[in-house]
């Protein structure tokens, strides 16, 4: 894949700008220069947005890239052309944005859109317009996502230097996102969760095992030993002890069964004896009771004889009762019918008086028929003129309704007129708000630009604060390093002095040794003299060997190297600190200059003062923006209201016209009805001009007629009723007289029958006998009771005689029993049986419960052994996967990441050796670390000049740049290999060249030129002035000072 062109419309600071990458086809290394914030990185953002609908970083969303100076008539649009193999691809993408309506006024929300066109030569081969289709097509074509594309094509400022020197944890966070290795971490997490679950299950099983052991039931003799065994977790011995106890429990149960059978036999025998003794005593008591009852019956015999005589007399009266009752009933009937005849005679007299009174009243009202006839004639005459009044009343009602309609329609006309005026006023007010839309929108755009500016300042302030904190940390590090360098220099000087002293001592010893070997006349090996007046004598108390001298010299050399290395490192850090301080000072000065006038703060004020002022300004702008948005919302509401008001006004005008027409029609109807009413009223008689007067007169005559008719009818009805009542009374009197004669005859007959019956019983019918019989008749209901009493007495006598004979025969020849002694023996035997049963049941339950618990214990012990083995295996496996093992801090995910990192370093070493002439190679630090944070992904470099590994922290600025560049390029290649993505023949470097000194800058450029030899287009994004002289081919981003930027090309003549 190779970029061809990028066209930006109202995207970031670019109004309508095209980046033509083909201008650098023959000179692939070029510089993208410009001031900070001018829009250099925005070019790469445009490429990322076109391809992946996202920017190159996480701090800016695609819709936010719309230019602050864009108006609602300006459409944000990005067009990107690139080639891949033998095809050209064109992508046109627009974000969601708010634009002016094409027709009419107002704004409309436009959704995001994209168009991808594939060209083969000059022929369009395919075109896709759906966002999902374009995304899937590019994913399948490029085999990478936006994050991976940015990792491969863009080297952000300082990122890979930080990645190079970061600890393993920090590297892992980057690599796991790029290579999607989170699945391995999830495996390890799930395994740890399984381990925790298994451990909890084991703990629960142990607790349950303890609980089951606590439930075991022990005999007092075994309780102590069992507690000791359980406390020492000797479960096997505990089970052996329980087995012994279970055997003893079974034996004891058999003994209890034998004892229980014997005791139950004793209880059976005693129970039978007690029952017999109880029956004997009961018979004795019953015999005595029966004898007493027999004596009482003997004493009642005279009373029973009297009761039999009384019963005989009552039975005779019972036979007389029918004749007696007939005679008494007949006498009662005579009395009642005599009273009824007297009452009927009174009714006849009253009926005769009522008839005479009714006839007199009718004669007194003889004139009523004539009055009734006169009133009927008058009402018939009135009925002929009544319709005229009804017609007039109907006309009056219609006239009233017409007048009401006229008033209502007139009021409706007035209401609609007022409502139309109010609607017109509201239209004018809404239009006034809409006319202010442009002003408010301009203010909104201005505020949005201000917000963006403030956000940029805030970001720069935050970065400056962080940079100052870094400077403080670097200063502290330099102070520490200075002390270390001073100590190392002192140690080196001391080691050098010690080496020199040992060397001199060794020389003196050698000279003294040679002097001792001189012979007279032989030349001195040092000065050549043949005479030796003062030969050297050794003064050393301890001999100094050659090995001691060499050891001291090696120590001095090592100390000197350490001091030199620390001094070099100190110089490098001091230089880096000075450069960083200068850069921070320059950035602070530039930022303060940009902010001072806008925030009304002096340029020499502190960053804290600028931060406070910026916060206040942001708050004020937010409040203003809220007010503007509220005003724009009112404008949008007014636009909606205006349309509604216009429709309302049109409706109101139509309704007003209809109401006016209705009011005119109502007025015409009122006039017509008035004329008709006057004509009808002239036809009425003068004495009854209104329907009300006519109706009152008619009602009065009708009431009089009804009264007369009712009175005459009532008089006739009274005479008729009185005549009928007299006839009925006379008939009732005759009936009562006949019935009285019949009742008197029945009394005579019944009395003759009673007299004859009493004579047969030797009694006469006198008042005394009549009273006696009447009293006896009242006692007849006692006859059944008296009969039953006599029968019960005879039965009781018979039963008492039989019972006494039977009991005397049963008790003969039997001794008097001692039942208290028998019951005491039975109670004792029953208590023994109950105790033996309880002991046997307790033994059975104890044996059964312990057998169940032993079985549970055995099952749990077997399950626990298996579970412990599984938990141990899970623990070991989780330790390995999470890097918690005793011999390794490298987990599964870190191991996988290390594998990827080894691939990256293998690819990176090829470039690093080229760029450093074979001096450096990346290596992974395999030395055991104290924690996971520094395990698995630590990077060292092997320095061929010293023949050993060194920390990447010891590299100089230029060396660390080269190492980071090689590492970044290698990471991109490995990502492409891993994901199968296409080769991207473009690289944009935003690596912070401002932190490099002149030598390091030249080294970096030479490195990039070496990469350029691979026919890869490389763009350096920087504002460093030294690069402009070193890189002749440039794409210059020129800020115009109003938030806009444009591009200028500078192509070297030989390029």
pLDDT at 1055 (0 to 100): 43
Angle of helix 892-915 relative to helix 182-215, nearest 10 degrees? 150
Residues sharing a CB contact under 8 Å with residue 1019, sequence separation 6 or more, in sequence order: 24, 30, 31, 32, 986, 987, 988, 989, 1035
**How crowded is residue 262: how many other Cβ atoms within 10 Å of its Cβ?**
11
Of 964, 1013, 958, the closest CA to residue 989 belongs to 964
pLDDT, tens digit, 9 for 90 and up, residues 865-906: 887 888 777 777 766 666 666 555 667 778 888 888 899 899
Tokens matching residue 81 = 């052309």
Q: How far apart, in Å, do the first and last CA atoms of the chain sit? A: 22
Instruction: Kindly write down the DSSP assignment for every residue of 29-86, as one continuous string.
Output: EEEEE--TTSSHHHHHHHHHHHHHSS-SSSS--GGGGB-TT--TT---EEEEEEEETT
* Element of type H or E holding 939: strand 939-943
Tokens matching residue 30 = 């070029």
Residues sharing a CB contact under 8 Å with residue 797, sequence separation 6 or more, in sequence order: 294, 297
pLDDT at 530 (0 to 100): 63
pLDDT at 247 (0 to 100): 92
Q: How far is Cα 752 from Cα 326, in angstroms, rounded to an integer? A: 11
Average pLDDT of the chain is 82
pTM of the model: 0.40
- Strand-strand pairing, 107-110 and 123-128: unpaired
Q: How far is Cα 312 from Cα 54, in angstroms, rounded to an integer? A: 133
* Element of type H or E holding 93: strand 87-94
Beta bridge partners of 128: 116
Residue for token digits 């402009």? Answer: 1028
Q: Give pairs for 279-285: CB < 8 Å, separation 24+.
A: 280/811, 280/814, 280/817, 281/817, 281/819, 283/807, 283/810, 283/811, 284/811
pLDDT at 517 (0 to 100): 65
Question: Which positions of the chain have pLDDT values less than 50?
Answer: 1013, 1055
Using left for φ > 0, alpha for ψ between -120 and 50, and beta otherwise, residue 94 falls in beta
pLDDT at 1053 (0 to 100): 62
């Amino acid at each position: 894949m190779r970029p061809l062109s990028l066209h930006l419309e109202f995207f970031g600071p670019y109004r309508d700008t095209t980046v033509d990458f083909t201008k650098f086809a023959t000179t692939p290394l070029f510089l993208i220069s410009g001031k900070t914030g001018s829009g250099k990185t925005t070019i790469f953002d445009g490429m990322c947005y076109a391809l992946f609908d996202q920017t190159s970083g996480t701090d800016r969303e695609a819709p936010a890239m719309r230019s602050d100076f864009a108006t609602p008539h300006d459409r944000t649009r990005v067009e990107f052309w690139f080639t891949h193999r033998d095809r050209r691809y064109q992508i046109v993408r627009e974000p969601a944005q708010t634009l002016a309506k094409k027709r009419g006024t107002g704004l409309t929300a436009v959704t995001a859109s994209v168009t991808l066109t594939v060209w083969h030569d000059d022929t369009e081969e395919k075109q896709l317009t759906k966002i999902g289709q374009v995304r899937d097509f590019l994913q399948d074509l490029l085999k990478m996502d936006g994050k991976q594309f940015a990792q491969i094509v863009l080297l952000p400022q300082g990122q890979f230097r930080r990645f190079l020197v970061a600890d393993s944890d920090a590297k892992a966070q980057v690599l796991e996102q790029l290579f999607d290795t989170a699945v391995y971490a999830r495996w390890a997490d799930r395994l740890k969760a399984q381990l925790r679950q298994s451990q909890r299950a084991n703990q629960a099983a142990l607790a349950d095992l303890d609980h089951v052991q606590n439930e075991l039931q022990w005999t007092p003799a075994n309780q102590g030993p069992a507690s000791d065994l359980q406390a020492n977790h000797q479960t096997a011995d505990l089970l052996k002890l329980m087995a012994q106890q279970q055997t003893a429990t079974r034996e004891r149960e058999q003994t209890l069964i034998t004892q229980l059978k014997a005791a139950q036999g004793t209880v059976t025998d005693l129970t039978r004896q007690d029952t017999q003794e109880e029956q004997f005593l009961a018979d004795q008591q019953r015999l005595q009771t029966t004898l007493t009852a027999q004596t009482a019956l003997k004493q009642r015999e005279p009373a029973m004889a009297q009761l039999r005589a009384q019963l005989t007399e009552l039975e005779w009266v019972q036979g007389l009762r029918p004749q007696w009752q007939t005679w008494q009933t007949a006498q009662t009937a005579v009395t009642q019918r005599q009273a009824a005849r007297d009452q009927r005679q009174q009714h006849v007299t009253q009926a005769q008086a009522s008839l005479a009174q009714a006839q007199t009243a009718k004669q007194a009202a003889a004139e009523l028929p004539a009055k009734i006839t006169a009133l009927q004639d008058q009402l018939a005459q009135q009925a002929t003129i009544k319709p005229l009044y009804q017609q007039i009343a109907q006309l009056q009602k219609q006239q009233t309704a017409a007048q009401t309609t006229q008033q209502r329609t007139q009021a409706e006309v007035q209401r609609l007129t007022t409502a139309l005026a109010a609607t017109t006023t509201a239209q004018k007010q809404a239009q006034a708000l809409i006319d202010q839309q442009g002003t408010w929108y301009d203010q909104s755009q201005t505020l949005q630009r201000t917000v963006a500016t403030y956000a940029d300042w805030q970001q720069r302030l935050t970065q400056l604060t962080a940079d100052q904190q870094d400077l403080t940390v670097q200063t502290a590090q330099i102070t520490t390093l200075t002390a270390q360098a001073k100590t190392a220099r002192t140690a080196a000087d001391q080691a050098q002095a010690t080496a020199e002293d040992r060397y001199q001592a060794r020389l003196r010893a050698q000279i003294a040794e040679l002097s001792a070997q001189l012979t007279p006349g032989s030349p001195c090996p040092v000065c050549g003299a043949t005479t030796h007046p003062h030969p050297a004598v050794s003064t050393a108390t301890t001999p100094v060997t050659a090995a001691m001298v060499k050891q001291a010299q090696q120590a001095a050399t090592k100390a000197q190297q350490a001091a030199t290395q620390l001094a070099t490192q100190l110089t490098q850090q001091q230089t880096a600190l000075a450069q960083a301080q200068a850069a921070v000072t320059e950035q602070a000065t530039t930022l303060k200059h940009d902010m001072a006038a806008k925030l009304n703060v002096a340029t020499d004020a502190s960053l804290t003062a600028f931060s406070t002022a910026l916060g206040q300004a942001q708050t004020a702008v937010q409040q203003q923006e809220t007010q503007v948005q509220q005003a724009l919302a009112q404008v949008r509401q007014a636009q909606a209201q205006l349309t509604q008001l216009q429709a309302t006004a049109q409706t109101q005008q139509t309704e007003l016209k209809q109401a006016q027409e209705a009011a005119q029609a109502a007025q015409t109807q009122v006039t017509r009805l008035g004329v008709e009413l006057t004509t009808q009223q002239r036809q009425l008689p003068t004495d009854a001009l209104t329907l009300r007067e006519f109706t009152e007169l008619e009602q009065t005559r009708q009431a009089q007629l009804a009264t007369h008719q009712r009175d005459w009818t009532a008089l006739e009805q009274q005479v008729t009723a009185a005549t009928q009542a007299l006839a009925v009374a006379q008939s009732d009197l005759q009936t009562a007289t006949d019935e009285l004669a019949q009742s008197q005859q029945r009394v005579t007959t019944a009395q003759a029958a009673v007299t004859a019956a009493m004579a047969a019983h030797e009694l006469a019918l006198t008042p005394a006998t009549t009273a006696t019989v009447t009293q006896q008749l009242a006692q007849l209901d006692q006859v059944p009771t008296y009969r039953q009493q006599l029968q019960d007495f005879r039965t009781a006598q018979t039963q008492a005689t039989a019972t006494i004979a039977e009991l005397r025969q049963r008790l003969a020849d039997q001794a008097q029993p001692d039942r208290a002694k028998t019951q005491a023996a039975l109670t004792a035997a029953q208590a023994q049986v109950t105790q033996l049963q309880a002991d046997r049941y307790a033994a059975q339950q104890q044996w059964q419960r312990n057998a169940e618990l032993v079985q549970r214990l055995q099952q749990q012990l077997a399950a626990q052994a298996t579970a412990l083995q599984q938990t141990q295996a899970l623990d070991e496996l989780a330790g390995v996967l999470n890097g918690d093992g005793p011999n390794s801090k490298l987990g599964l995910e870190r191991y996988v990441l290390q594998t990827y990192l080894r691939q990256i370093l293998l690819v990176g070493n090829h470039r690093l050796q080229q760029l450093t002439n074979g001096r450096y190679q990346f290596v992974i630090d395999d030395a055991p670390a104290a924690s996971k944070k520094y395990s698995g992904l630590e990077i060292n470099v092997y320095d061929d000049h010293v023949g050993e590994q060194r920390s990447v922290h010891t590299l100089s600025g230029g060396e660390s740049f080269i190492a980071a560049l090689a590492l970044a390029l290698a990471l991109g290649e490995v990502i492409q290999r891993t994901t199968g993505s296409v080769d991207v023949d473009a690289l944009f470097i935003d690596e912070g060249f401002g932190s490099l000194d002149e030598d390091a800058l030249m080294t970096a450029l030479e490195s990039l030129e070496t990469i350029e030899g691979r026919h890869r287009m490389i763009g350096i994004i920087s504002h460093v002035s030294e690069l402009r002289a070193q890189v002749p081919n440039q794409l210059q981003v020129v800020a115009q000072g109003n938030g806009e930027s444009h591009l200028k090309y500078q192509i070297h003549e030989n390029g």
